[in-house]
Structure 1
Amino acid sequence: MSDRITSRPPATPATGHGRISTETVRSIVGKNPVRRTFWRRLALIGPAFVAGAWQFGPGNLTTAMNAGAGYGYALIWVIIVSTLLMVFLTDMSVRLGIRTPVSLISSIKDSLGRWTGVAAGIGVFLIALCFSVGNAVGSGVGLAMLIPGSSPVMWTVICTVAVATILLMKGIYGIVEKALIVIVAIMAFCFIVSAFVSNPDWAAAGLGLIPVVPDGAWLLIIGLVGTNFSINAAFFASYGTKARARSESEYRDITIVDTIPGIVAPGIMTALVIVVSASVLFDTGTPAPGAFVGLARIFEPVAGPVGTWIFALGFFGSAFSSMIPNCIAGGTLLSDALGRGASAETITARLGSAFILAFGIAITVAFAGSSPIELIVLAQALTVLFAPLLAALIIIMANNRALMGPLRNRWWQNVLGVVGFVSVLALSIRLLISIVAG
C-alpha cells in the first residue's frame, strides 16, 4: 500500500491529476492582486500619459483657444465628451497591449486579415501626417513670436532638422524632453491661474456643458474632436503598454494611476483654455483673432506684457515636443503594417518618420501666406477622416474572446465605444460633405 502511495506523482499544476488551467490561475491572481506601494504604482505611469501629452499639442491649444475666442463657453461640452470617450478607447488599447502576443497590428492581421492590419497602420500614418502640419506650423510661429521679425518658415525648418537630429542621437532626447515638459508645465500653470485671475463667468461656463452647435462652428468642433478624441494616440497606447511588458495583475493599478489621470488631465487643461480664451477675448467684445498675437493676450491678466513671451515659449514647447512622438508613432505603425517590424529602429520606420517631418515642412511652405490658425484647425479636422477605422478595430479586437480572456470588453464599455465610433464616423461624413461641397 505504501509503495502505491509513494509511486503516485505529486499534485502540481504542471502534471496529470493536479493540473490547473491557465484561466484558473489568472482568476486566482485577479482575486488576490499583489499589493503595491504608492511609489510602485507611480512606476506604472506611462502609455496613457504619453497619449495625453501627445494630445496637448499646438493643434489642441489652437482649436481650444479659437473656440473660446469665437464662441465663448459654448463648446466646452465637446471637450468633456471627447475626454470621456478617449478614456474608454485608451483603456481598451491598454488591455490589448497587455494581452496581444506581439503587437496590435500583428494581432489584427491574425484575426481580421492581413490587409485590415495594413489599413490600420496606414491610417495611423496618415493621421500623423495631418498632425505634423500643426506641429510644424506651431513650432515655427512660437519661435517667430519670441524673436519678432524672424520668419516662421525658417524656424519650422530649423525645428524639423533639430527633431531629426534628436531621433538619430538618442542620448539627447531625454534632456530635451525634460526641458520641454518644464516649458509646457509653466504654460499649463499659467492657464490654471488665468482661469481664476481673468474672472470668467462660471455660470456661463457651466451652461457650456449643455451640447449646442453655434452657427459656423462645425469645422472647429471637428477639429476639437480630432485633437481631444485622438484615436491614433489611443491606438499607439497598446504599443507603449507592450513595450513596458505590463501584466494582467497590474491592470487595475494602471487604470488608476495612468489611464484615467493621463487622459483626464489634458482634457481639464483644454477646457480651461476655452474658459480663459472666452473670458479674455470673447466676453470683452474682442473679435476672434486672426493671428497668434491675438491669442497670446490670454496671459496678460497673469503676467502682463511677459504673458505673450510665456505663451510663445509654451506654444513652441508643446509643438516641438509633439513632433517627436508623432513621427515615431507614425513610422513605427507603418513599419508594422508592412511587415517590417513593430520597432522605431527599422529602416521602414525611419523612412516613414522622415517623410512625416518632411510633409510638415512642405505644407508649411506651400501655405506660408495663409492664416496659421486656419491651417492648423483644418489639419486637425482632417484627422477625423481616418479615425472611424481605428476606433472600430480597437472595439472589435477588445471583444475577441480568445485573445482578451478576462480582459474582454464588458457591455457598458462596448456601449461607450460604439458611441465614440458613431461620433467620429458622423463627423467624418460631415467633413467629407463639406469638402465636396467646397
Structure 2
Amino acid sequence: MAGPAFVVGCWGFGPGNLTTSIQAGSGFGYALVWVPVVSTLLMLTLADMSVRIGIQAPASLLSTVKDRLGTWVGYLAGGAIFVITLMFSVGNAVGSGLALSMLTGMPAIAGTVLCTILVAALLVLRNVYRVMEKVMVACMALMALVFVISTVAARPDMWKAAEGMVPTVPLGSTTVVIALIGTCLSANAAFFTAYGTRERRRTAEQYRDLTIADTVPGIVAPGIMTSLVVLVAAKIFGGPLGAENMVSSIGGLSKVFEPVAGPVGVWIFALGYFAAAFSAMTANATAGGTMLSDALGRGASSNTKTARVVSGFILTWGIAITAIFGGKSPVQLIVLAQSLTVLTAPILAALLVYLASRRDLMGSLRSKTWQTALGIAAVLIVTWFWIQLVIGFFQ
C-alpha cells in the first residue's frame, strides 16, 4: 500500500524544508516548533481529501475540477500548480548543487547540472511513476534514520520544545514561517496524491488500509523530521540568535549533524541534503509535468509528451535561476523560493476542500464535518500568510 503519500512527503521535505528548519531553530530557538506540527496536521487533512477524490472521482483531479467548476478553473488550478513547481525547482536545484559540491568538491553549479541530468534520465523511463515511488521511499528511510540519530545525540530541551507548541510569530520570523508552511502545508503536493492514488488503482475498499500504511506515515514522517531538525538546530546553535544572525551558509547548516559524528557530520549532512534535493527534484518535475498536462487536456500521466516537456522546462528553470541568482546567497535564495510557494496555495487548498465535501461526487467517502473544518482552517492559514507575503513585498 505504501507509495503515493511517500512521494508527496519527499516532495515537501526537500532542501528548502531542511534549510528553513535549520534557520528556524538557529534564529528563533524552539519558538517555531509549532509550525511544522500544525502544518503537518493540516497537510494530512488535505492529502487525505486528495486520496479520497483519487479513489472516487470518475476522472483525474484537474479534469474533475474542470467538469465541476468550469474549464477556466481547471486552467487556473493547473497554472497555480505550475507556478509552485517552478518555485520548488529553484530550491531543489540550488540544494542539489550545494550538496554535491560538499561531497565532491565540484563547483555548485556543476553539481546542479549533474543532478538535473540524473533526474532527467529517470523521467525518460517508461514507467516513471513506479520508479519514482521506489526512489522516494528509499530516500525517506535514509533521511529519517539520520535525523532521528541526530536528535538523540543532540538532546534538545524538551520543556522548551513544549513551550514552542504555543503559536507565536517572533519579530523577523515571518519569511521563515511562510517558507516552513510552504513546504509542510504544500497544497500542490496534496493535489498530486490523487494522481498517485489513481496510478495505483486504489479502491474504496482499500481506503482504510491505504490510510494506515501510506497516507498517515507518508505525510507525518516528513513533518516529524522537520520538527526534529528545528529542535536539533535550536540546541546546536544555541538559539534564538535573532533574524539577523540566522545560519546563512551551507557550512553553517552542516553543523546540525556534529552531535552524530563530529567532523564527519559535514559529510553526513551533505548526503542527507543530497537525498532531500534529489528526491524532491524528481517528484517536483514529475508532478508538475503530469498535472499541467492534465489541466491542458493532454492526459493525466507522467508518460505523456506534454508532461515530459513541462517536466524538462521545470528542471531547466531551476538551473537557470540557480546560475543567475544562486552565487551570492544560495541559502537565502532557497528560503525565498520556498516562501513564494504560498502565493497560489489558497486556490488549491480550497478546491480540495470543496470537492471532498460534495456528496454527489464522493458518496460514502465524503468529508466528515470535522475534516471539512480542518480543511477550512488550512485554507484560512495559507490565505493569512499569503496576505502577509504580499504585504511584505510592498514594504
Could you tell me the TM-score, scaled by structure 1's length? Answer: 0.86
Deviation at 1:185, TM superposition (A): 3.5
The answer to whether the Cα contact below 8 Å between 1:187 and 1:310 also exists between their aligned partners in 2 is no
Q: Where do residues 243-322 of structure 1 align in structure 2 (5 Å cutoff)?
A: 243-283=199-239, 287-322=245-280
Matched, 1:236 2:192: yes
Alignment of 1:26-175 (within 5 A): 44-148=1-105, 150-170=106-126
8 A contact 1:180–1:317 mirrored in 2: no
Corresponding residue to 2:329 among 359, 371, 385: 371
**What is the rounded CA distance, in whole Å, between the counterparts of 2:275 and 2:314 in structure 1?**
19
Matching of residues 178-189 of structure 1 within 5 Å: 182=138, 185-189=141-145
RMSD: 2.0
Correspondence 1:207 to 2:163: yes
Which structure 2 segments of 5+ residues have no match?
Answer: none
- Alignment match, 1:36: none
Cα deviation digits, residues 253-295 of structure 1 (max 9, x gap): 2112211121111111110000111111125979522201111
Q: Relative contact order: is structure 1 or structure 2 higher (C-alpha 8 Å, sep ≥ 6)?
A: 2
Quick one: distance in 1 between partners of 2:68 and 2:127? 38
* Change beyond 3 A, Cα 1:326–1:315: same
Cα distance in 1 for partners of 2:392, 2:240 equals: 32
Contact 1:335 1:342 in 2 (8 A): yes
Number of aligned residues: 393
What's the CA shift string for 1:23-62, capped at 9, x where partnerless? xxxxxxxxxxxxxxxxxxxxx2222122112111111101
What residue identity is the alignment partner of 2:103?
L
Cα distance in 2 for partners of 1:171, 1:379 equals 30
Q: After TM superposition, give the deviation of residue 328 of structure 1 in Å.
A: 0.9
For residue 417 of structure 1, the aligned residue among 356, 375, 380 is: 375
Cα distance, 1:188 vs. partner? Answer: 2.9
How far, CA to CA, are the matches of 2:334 and 2:183 in structure 1? 11
| Counterpart-to-counterpart distance in 2, 1:86 and 1:346 | 28
Task: Tell me, in whole angstroms, the C-alpha distance in 1 between the residues paired with 2:356 and 2:91.
Answer: 31
Q: Deviations over 1:96-150 (max 9, x none)?
A: 00011120111111110011111111111111111000110000000111123x3
Distance 1:45 1:196 in 2: 27
C-alpha distance in structure 2 between counterparts of 1:411 and 1:234, whole Å: 20
Contact 1:187 1:311 in 2 (8 A): no
Higher mean alpha-carbon deviation, 333-342 vs 44-53, is at 44-53
Q: Distance in 1 between matches of 2:344 and 2:141?
A: 31
Distance 1:294 1:60 in 2: 16
1:184–1:314 Cα contact (<8 Å) kept: no
Paired with 1:203 and 1:289, the residues of 2 have a C-alpha distance of: 24
Q: 1:348 aligns with which of 306, 316, 319?
A: 306
Q: Give how far 1:186 is off.
A: 3.7
Output one character per residue of 1:370-396: Cα deviation in whole Å (capped at 9) or x when no partner: 311110111010010010000011111
Aligned in 2, Cα 1:183/1:228: closer, same or farther, shift over 3 Å? closer
The answer to whether 1:335 aligns with 2:293 is: yes
For the 8 Å contact 2:285–2:311, the answer to whether it is kept is: yes
Unaligned stretches of 5+ in structure 1?
1-43
Contact 2:17 2:180 in 1 (8 A): yes
Tell me how far apart the structure 1 counterparts of residues 358 and 148 of structure 2 sit (CA, whole Å).
42
In structure 2, relative to structure 1, the CA distance for the partners of 1:238 and 1:175 (3 Å cut) is: closer
Q: What percent of counterpart residues are identical?
A: 53
Cα 1:308–1:241 shift into 2, 3 Å: same
Distance 1:53 1:368 in 2: 23
Check whether the contact 1:130–1:380 (CA below 8 A) recurs between aligned residues: yes
CA distance in 2, matches of 1:199, 1:395: 39
Inter-partner Cα distance in structure 1 for 2:143 and 2:7: 18
Q: Give 1:182 deviation, angstroms.
A: 4.8
